[in-house]
Amino acid sequence: MKKREVQASVKDERLVKKRRDQMIKGAVTLFIQKGFHRTTTREIAKAAGFSIGTLYEYIRTKEDVLYLVCDSIYDQVSERLQKDLDTNRGTIESLRMGIADYFRVVDEMQDEVLVMYQEVKSLSKDALPYVLKKEIEMVEMFEQIITGCVENKELDLPEAQIKMIAHNIFVQGQMWAFRRWSLKKLYSIEDYINLQTELLFQGIKSPVYNESNV
């Protein structure tokens, strides 16, 4: 699926990219503070450093800004993930690393992830699929790593479990952002990584079962 085109009146591609980057940066800050709906286009223009007129030279509607923001955040997150995941394919270690890396990316981009997470639903039916596609791709990245482990016989998991685990990992990453008001009181990001990884690999340890193993 190709990117959704956001129309600009200005022709100079380089300029379009530059202006949009300014715009995204300003908008993220504002969306974090007050949400998409409570942020005005004027505020976005001001935060971006240009006039309302100029803003509309690079987008068609306010919603375009939201799309651009979401798109940009996903791009950044998945770009960083991609890099990490290209190494050590098929080993349990690569899965551990993948999870840790993903959680750390989320930690670093907390605000952005939160925004994207809370405002996607404000995208029109038109733009939504493009953003959802990105999310699916990220889940698939985890799926591939896990599948690699299974193919390498490092893990033994049925298809249904693979997908479930991929979803869980993805959501647990987001969870670090959107439940931070609660989680940060309990864990550091490294604690969080360790605990979630441990639970993932070992499940809940029942002393009864353990005893019977002896």
Partner DNA sequence: GATGAATGAGTCTTCATTCAT
Partner DNA sequence: CATGAATGAAGACTCATTCAT
By CB under 8 A, name the binding residues for a second copy.
35, 37, 92, 118, 121-122, 132, 136, 139, 153-157, 160-161, 163-165, 167-168, 171-172, 175, 179, 181-183, 186-187, 191-192, 195-196, 198-208, 210, 213
Q: Which DSSP string do the residues of 137-154 spell out, in sequence order? A: HHHHHHHHHHHHHHHTTS
Which of the 8 DSSP states describes residue 9?
S
Q: How far is CA 69 from CA 38, 109, 119, 167, in A?
A: 16, 13, 10, 23
Helix axes 92-108, 110-119, angle to 10 degrees: 80
Please, which residue, 5 or 202, has the CB nearer to a second copy? Answer: 202
Residue window 19-48: x/- pattern of binding to DNA, with contact defined by CB under 7 A: x------------------xxxxx------
Instruction: Report, in Å, the least distance between residue 37 CB and DNA.
Output: 7
Instruction: Report, in Å, the least distance between residue 22 CB and DNA.
Output: 10
Answer with the entry of a second copy, DNA, none that 33 interacts with (C-beta below 5 to 8 A by kind). none
Q: Name the region of 181 (left: φ>0; alpha: ψ -120 to 50; beta: rest).
A: alpha
Note the Cα 206 to chain centre separation in Å.
Answer: 34
Answer with the entry of DNA, a second copy, none that 1 interacts with (C-beta below 5 to 8 A by kind). none
Question: Can you tell me the distance from the alpha carbon of 203 to that of 80, in angstroms, rounded to the nearest whole number?
Answer: 28
**Residues engaged in binding DNA (CB under 7 A):** 9-12, 15, 19, 38-42, 50-54, 56-57, 60-63
